[in-house]
Amino acid sequence: GNSVTQMEGPVTLSEEAFLTINCTYTATGYPSLFWYVQYPGEGLQLLLKATKADDKGSNKGFEATYRKETTSFHLEKGSVQVSDSAVYFCALSPYNTNAGKSTFGDGTTLTVKP
Amino acid sequence: DAGVTQSPTHLIKTRGQQVTLRCSPKSGHDTVSWYQQALGQGPQFIFQYYEEEERQRGNFPDRFSGHQFPNYSSELNVNALLLGDSALYLCASSFETFGYGYTFGSGTRLTVV
């Protein structure tokens, strides 16, 4: 079956530091890949997505590139802010007409200190 | 434009009871998926509804059932509650079933005592 593996947290960084959160996946075919962010007490928000190999998703300074050869979708940001503190989830969705199910990683907690 | 609305936000139930959670999808979305998120874990897929039918189901027992109405809103029902059912239940809506990303609600926090 499909699976998503994220780097274990928590991750603690100082403001303006560079962020990388690793994500690798196992799936058949050509899945779509996503990063979601969850702030305390809230649901998940879609941060960025990529639907085919070599696509780069980007939003709010975050980026991730769909690497089929390494089955990875690592999240990066050049300069984090305190407001980026949250839990980040990597997810995949199979690409077929009956595919609604997304498979999520266990999340990585990011804390950014001033 | 209203996003996904879930009710109630919090709920406390006794073991063995039944519970109904409700979800109104984002305007224009026709597909509703339900996820269970235990503390410190990622969301686990319960099932998905499309055109008022259960389209896909995850590894959850038959105690978990649902319904989608003609206006695309949805309910999640859980019978014979167990302590292990305590979790955040998330509703996610999307326009189509290709998985191009969900819009999530803020969830219902269910506590079974």
Q: Inter-chain contact A105–B42, Cβ cutoff 8 Å?
A: yes
- Is the model's pLDDT at B112 over the cut of 70? yes
- Most confident range, picked from A88-102, B51-65, B74-88: B74-88
**Cα(A85)–Cα(B71) distance, integer angstroms:** 36
Residue A32 distance to chain B (closest CA, Å)? 7
Residue pointed to by tokens 């955040």: B88
Confidence of residue B98 (pLDDT cuts 50, 70, 90): low
Answer yes or no: is pLDDT of A31 > 70.
yes
> Is A13:A110 a contact under the CB 8 Å cutoff?
yes
Query: Which residues of chain A lie closer than 8 angstroms to B48, CB-CB?
Result: 100-101
What token pair was written down for A51? 């639907």
For chain B, percent of residues with pLDDT exceeding 70: 94
CA-nearest of A95, A106, A94, A90 to A8 is: A106
Which residue do the tokens 């984090």 mark? A80
**Strand A23-26 vs strand A86-93: parallel, antiparallel, or unpaired?**
unpaired
CA A91 – CA A20 distance, rounded (Å): 16
CB contact under 8 A, A42 and B99: no
- Residues of B numbered 17-76 whose beta carbons fall under 8 angstroms of chain A's beta carbons: which are they? 31, 33, 40-45, 48, 50, 55-56, 58
- Chain A to chain B Cβ contacts (< 8 Å): 79
State which residue of chain B sits closest to A106, comparing Cα positions: B42
A9-28: pLDDT as tens digits:
899 999 999 999 999 999 98
